[in-house]
């Protein structure tokens, strides 16, 4: 395929090891959610997106399909799309089908194999689009490949899925500032942000009846066993997710079902019964709260779309 290029800046195994050992040594054991996404983790996330209880995916897709014409107007012709946490690159197809002659697409994702497959499929579906797949951790300083094959109109950074909610508000501000630094005045950023709502809806979304989210959470331990020398016994841990009202976030944890010692490489880690590893936060925002952060990061909050039930929001931010 001559419209696909790949750039592999995937974090090294040594940095994975370092972060896991460091996270498990804390008094509140914690592992960053970016480590969920090995090949199996990405597949499980795709299954989560199909779940009845998981309203964010279908609501965001509905918003994109409803308002893609307005988005295309804002972006204009010959746009260059950059997507953070592109996963299966499904949602971007709605934009690519509507934008006027988009020239390039740069998916950035930490999950190498999954992204490569998604990018190859996309490059095949859109033969006139230059696809530059970048495997990297977007929370680290990014040096994006330069693009000069065709004249570019505006750049658009697309960050769907409310993945920005996995960062705390200070980290989200930092990421938005870093994004702004990749753009010129007048370029845009399109961000999907989950809204504050009845905690019962949130609770159901992260505790699905089929147990897919539980499998996704527990897969982290399997990944550590596989990629490092570790002996987590998955039957001794349980998925635990709840809404922390004070912090406006869903928290996901892995809860130890008994007193136990787990070896990771040559380091023993003791767990008391009921002790947890904190594996994910998913912050929920009001429209105004998110706009205030975007504004602080150097963007003008130009447009926001929400659904009738006020479950999810998509923000179009214009670089000032």
Ligand X SMILES: C[S@@+](CC[C@H](N)C(=O)[O-])C[C@H]1O[C@@H](n2cnc3c(N)ncnc32)[C@H](O)[C@@H]1O
Query: Rule CB under 6 A: which residues touch ligand X?
Result: 34, 37, 42, 45, 49, 57, 85-87, 91, 108-111, 137-139, 160-161, 163
Nearer to ligand X among residue 168 and residue 259 (C-beta): 168
Nearest approach, Cβ of 263 to ligand X (angstroms)?
27
Nearer to ligand X among residue 5 and residue 171 (C-beta): 171
Residue 175's Cβ-count burial label (10 Å; 0-12, 13-18, 19+) is: buried
For β-strands 80-84 and 104-109, DSSP reports them as parallel
Nearest approach, Cβ of 179 to ligand X (angstroms)?
13
Nearest approach, Cβ of 233 to ligand X (angstroms)?
26
- For 262-307, the DSSP string reads EEETTEEEEE-TT-EEEEEEEE-B-HHHHHHHHHHTTEEEEEEEE-
Nearest approach, Cβ of 255 to ligand X (angstroms)?
22
Nearer to ligand X among residue 64 and residue 80 (C-beta): 64
With tokens 């630094």, the residue in question is 181
Q: Extract the tokens encoding 99.
A: 């934008």
Nearest approach, Cβ of 85 to ligand X (angstroms)?
3
Could you tell me if 89 and 119 are in contact, meaning their C-beta atoms sit under 8 angstroms apart? yes
Nearest approach, Cβ of 122 to ligand X (angstroms)?
13
Q: Which of 204, 187, 175, 165 is nearest to 74 (CA)?
A: 187
**What Å distances lie between residue 99 and 52, 77, 105, 114, 314, CA to CA?**
30, 7, 12, 25, 17
**What Å distances lie between residue 26 and 21, 30, 213, 242, CA to CA?**
9, 7, 25, 21
Nearer to ligand X among residue 47 and residue 139 (C-beta): 139
Nearer to ligand X among residue 96 and residue 262 (C-beta): 96
Nearer to ligand X among residue 117 and residue 236 (C-beta): 117
């Amino acid at each position: 395929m001559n419209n696909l290029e790949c750039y592999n800046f995937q974090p090294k195994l040594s940095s994975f090891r370092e972060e896991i050992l460091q996270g498990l040594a804390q008094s509140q054991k914690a592992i960053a959610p970016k480590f969920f996404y090995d090949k199996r983790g990405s597949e499980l996330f795709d299954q989560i997106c199909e779940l009845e209880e998981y309203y964010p995916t279908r609501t965001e897709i509905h918003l994109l399909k409803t308002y893609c014409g307005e988005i295309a107007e804002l972006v204009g012709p010959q746009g260059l799309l950059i997507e953070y946490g592109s996963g299966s690159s499904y949602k971007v197809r709605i934009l690519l089908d509507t934008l006027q002659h988009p020239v390039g697409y740069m998916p950035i994702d930490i999950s190498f194999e999954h992204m490569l497959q998604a990018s190859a499929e996309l490059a095949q579906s859109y033969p006139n689009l230059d696809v530059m797949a970048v495997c990297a951790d977007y929370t680290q300083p990014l040096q994006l490949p330069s693009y000069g094959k065709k004249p570019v109109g505006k750049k658009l950074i697309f960050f769907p899925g409310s993945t920005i909610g996995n960062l705390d508000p200070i980290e989200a501000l930092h990421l938005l500032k870093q994004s702004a630094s990749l753009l010129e005045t007048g370029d845009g950023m399109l961000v999907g942000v989950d809204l504050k709502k009845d905690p019962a809806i949130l609770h159901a979304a992260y505790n699905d009846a089929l147990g897919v989210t539980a499998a996704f959470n527990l897969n982290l331990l399997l990944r550590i066993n596989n990629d490092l020398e570790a002996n987590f016994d998955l039957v001794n841990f349980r998925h635990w997710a709840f809404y922390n009202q004070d912090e406006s976030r869903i928290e996901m944890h892995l809860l130890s079902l008994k007193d136990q010692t787990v070896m990771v490489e040559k380091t023993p880690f003791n767990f008391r019964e009921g002790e947890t590893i904190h594996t994910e936060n998913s912050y929920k925002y009001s429209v105004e709260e998110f706009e205030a952060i975007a504004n602080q990061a150097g963007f003008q909050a130009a447009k926001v779309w929400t659904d009738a039930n006020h479950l999810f929001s998509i923000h179009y931010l214009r670089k000032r």
